[in-house]
Amino acid sequence: MDRNEQIIEQYRQGDSELRLYMFLSYVPLRDRFMQISSAAAPKAEGHPTVLRLRLWLERLRSFLFF
């Protein structure tokens, strides 16, 4: 099992310290993305990079808060 798999397994088993760390890492990422996307909107709204970032953030959110 590699390091990434260990982290995912720890997270799934409910390691509260790891969950807190992941959440605290996610929130600044989300907030920064919202700042950037709102500053660039609506011009960049349909841009592929914006769509990819939004999808990536959504996947991260669904993983963290399943």
Q: Is there a contact between 32 and 5 (Cβ–Cβ < 8 Å)?
A: no
pTM over 0.75: no
Q: Is there a contact between 44 and 53 (Cβ–Cβ < 8 Å)?
A: no
Domain that holds residue 25: 3-64
Reading the chain (66 residues) residue by residue, the pLDDT tens digits are 787 788 777 777 877 777 777 777 777 877 877 777 666 666 666 667 777 877 888 887 777 765
Number of domains in the chain: 1
Q: How far apart are the first and last CA of the chain?
A: 22
